[in-house]
Amino acid sequence: MKSLILAGGLGTRLRPLTDRIPKSLLPICNRPFLEHQIRLLAAYGVTDSTLLTGYLAEDFAPFAQQMRALLGIELRVSTEHKPLGTAGAVRSRLDDLDGTTVVLNGDVLTDLDLGEAIDFHRAKGAAVTIVLTPVDDARPYGLVPLDASNRVEAFLEKPSELVAGNINAGTYVLEPEVLSEVPPDEFWQFEQQLFPSLLEKHAPIFGFISDSYWLDIGTPERYLQAHFDILSGRARASVDGTVVSDAQTMTDGTTIVPPVLLSHAPVGPGATLGPLTSIGPGSHIGAGARLERSVIHAGADIGEGAVLRGSIVGRDARVEPGAELDGAVVA
């Protein structure tokens, strides 16, 4: 089985982190975000994937080479030369598809049981299966109502009032023939064009409701939350480094307030790390610095006595000694 991962977004809400790094390659617990998705796919036997890229496309080839060597998978990179939308980008690879295909949005962290979703798709004889997640407030998303057999009845706009319901979780299982509905080399979206068009033609579109972990990482707040959820065990994902889960005080006065993800990074005496903090490899934490609920990327330099709360420090960025940051993004 093959998969396609939509990784062409600009990541504007995560700037300035995404000025130099594509959103889908930003680290989550010291692994590129896409690595989490590729590991999920591989765990369910989906080891032939294509990354659908656009913005900063040149960054994806080295990543793909690394993943092929690390995980022994097939991973290709396809770059659109003009915006094609979600459905248009997937349609551009139609000739490569030879059967049931998994499509992932390249900014959704999930520990979905993908095997259950694929089995559901086949049991229903679906043309498209949309993974849905129940939420208490659907106002930011829009609703996908189902009939008693879990067949999709409609795609509703974002409600104006607080209402619970099932929303599109950004994972699809589909049969390639549905993509013939998409005009080649044109901008088409799954949610606004392809799925409503298929529904009008009574194509069998089903919703697979999952209560698995799900989070769109596309804002600084949610990017931080993804780290918090992994470190606290709410989300299942692999990390690069060591998660310290017990409080520790070192002989030099360094204090760790768990959970904290540590990697190969020097920490100065008297620093306080945590809780819910991720330290990237090759970074440097100055003496007396205090970091809580923060994410430090590889190569970053945190000056002596700096205080960070709920902040993100990008790759190779510097925080001056004595600085106090709350809810900041530094790149």
**The domain spanning residue 19 has which CATH number?**
3.90.550.10
Same domain? For 254 and 318 the reply is yes
pLDDT in tens, 38-89: 999 999 999 999 999 999 999 999 999 999 999 989 999 999 989 999 999 9
281 falls within a domain = yes
Arithmetic mean of pLDDT, 207-223: 95
**Which CATH number does the domain housing residue 285 bear?**
2.160.10.10
Evaluate if residue 171 carries a pLDDT over 90.
Answer: yes
Evaluate if residue 235 carries a pLDDT over 90.
Answer: yes
pLDDT of residue 237: 93
Tally of CB atoms within 10 A around 296: 30
221 falls within a domain = no
In which domain, by residue range, is 135 found?
A: 2-216
Confidence of residue 116 (pLDDT cuts 50, 70, 90): very high
Confidence of residue 163 (pLDDT cuts 50, 70, 90): confident
Q: How far is CA 313 from CA 53, 155, 163, 240, 264, in A?
A: 25, 39, 36, 17, 17
- All residues at 6 or more sequence positions from 319 whose CB lies less than 8 Å from its CB, including other chains: 300, 301, 302, 303, 306, 308, 313, 325, 330
Same domain? For 48 and 173 the reply is yes
226 falls within a domain = no
183 preceded by a cis bond (ω within 30 of 0): no
Same domain? For 123 and 32 the reply is yes
Structure tokens at 11: 């990541």
Q: What is the mean pLDDT of the chain?
A: 95
166 falls within a domain = yes
Same domain? For 146 and 268 the reply is no
72 falls within a domain = yes
- For 149, counting Cβ atoms within 10 Å of its Cβ (0-12 exposed, 13-18 middle, 19+ buried), the class is exposed
Same domain? For 30 and 121 the reply is yes
Lowest mean pLDDT among 245-254, 271-280, 293-302: 245-254
pLDDT of residue 298: 97
pLDDT of residue 141: 85
pLDDT of residue 138: 86
224 falls within a domain = no
pLDDT of residue 196: 93
122 falls within a domain = yes
234 falls within a domain = no
CB 3 within 8 A of CB 318: no
Same domain? For 253 and 145 the reply is no
Same domain? For 76 and 142 the reply is yes
pLDDT of residue 241: 94
Same domain? For 167 and 212 the reply is yes
Same domain? For 164 and 130 the reply is yes
* pTM, to two decimals: 0.93
Same domain? For 185 and 269 the reply is no
Lowest mean pLDDT among 5-14, 61-70, 135-144: 135-144
* Rounded CA separation 62/65 (Å): 5
- Please tell me which residue, 111 or 142, carries the higher pLDDT value: 111
**How many domains is the chain built from?**
2
3-state secondary structure the chain: CEEEEEECCCCHHHCCHHHCCCHHHCEECCEEHHHHHHHHHHHCCCCEEEEEECCCHHHHHHHHHHHHHHHCCEEEEEECCCCCHHHHHHHCCHHHCCCCEEEEECCEEECCCHHHHHHHHHHHCCCEEEEEEEECCCCCCCECCECCCCEECCCECCCCCCCCEEEEEEEEEECHHHHHHCCCCCCCCHHHHHHHHHHHCCCCEEEEECCCCEEECCCHHHHHHHHHHHHCCCCCCCCCCEEECCCEECCCCCEECCCEEECCCCECCCCEECCCEEECCCCEECCCCEEECCEECCCCEECCCCEEECCEECCCCEECCCCEEECCEEC
Evaluate if residue 24 carries a pLDDT over 90.
Answer: yes
Same domain? For 158 and 278 the reply is no
Same domain? For 116 and 249 the reply is no
Q: At what angle do helices 114-124 and 33-43 cross, to 10 degrees?
A: 60
pLDDT of residue 149: 96
